[in-house]
Amino acid sequence: MRLKLFLGAALLLANASPVLAQECVGWGEPVELAGIPVTGVYPGPPEYESVAKGDAAYSALMLHLRQPICVNAGANAEMEPHISEIELIQLACDKKVLGRITEGDVNTVAGTLFPAHTGYHVTQAVLQCS
């Protein structure tokens, strides 16, 4: 009997394909994300392409996620696309929330995700902190 159970379990494991677990969330849904905050310098106006070529530089706070996530497409897939394997999310937080975030340490930040839509958005998804 034990041999049959062992062989059955071995067959199940042999046929199972590894799947990487990835949490998917929806645009505008409340989320809580854990990661390490990092600041980056990015090109701003007028072209949002290159500081070396004359664009103004600005700093943006990002959250490097501990685990990649995906975001499901919204009702209008052209405006709110599906994005997978997101590891870096720009944070849009007020000063009160920013005061609680410690760069270099793992932080948990709550809010809602929205798709990038301006030159100041440097990641595909932006977290509006709550």
DSSP state string for 10-37: HHHHHHPPP----EEEETTSEEEEEEEE
Tens digits of residue pLDDT in 97-129: 999 999 889 999 999 999 999 999 999 999 999
pTM of the model: 0.78
Per-residue pLDDT band for 3 (boundaries 50, 70, 90) equals: very low
Per residue in 54-90, pLDDT tens? 999 999 999 999 999 999 987 777 677 889 999 999 9
The pair of structure tokens assigned to 30 is 């409340």
Question: Is residue 59 within 8 Å of 88, Cβ to Cβ?
Answer: no
Note the pLDDT of residue 76. Answer: 72
- DSSP H helical segments within the chain, as ranges? 2-15, 95-98
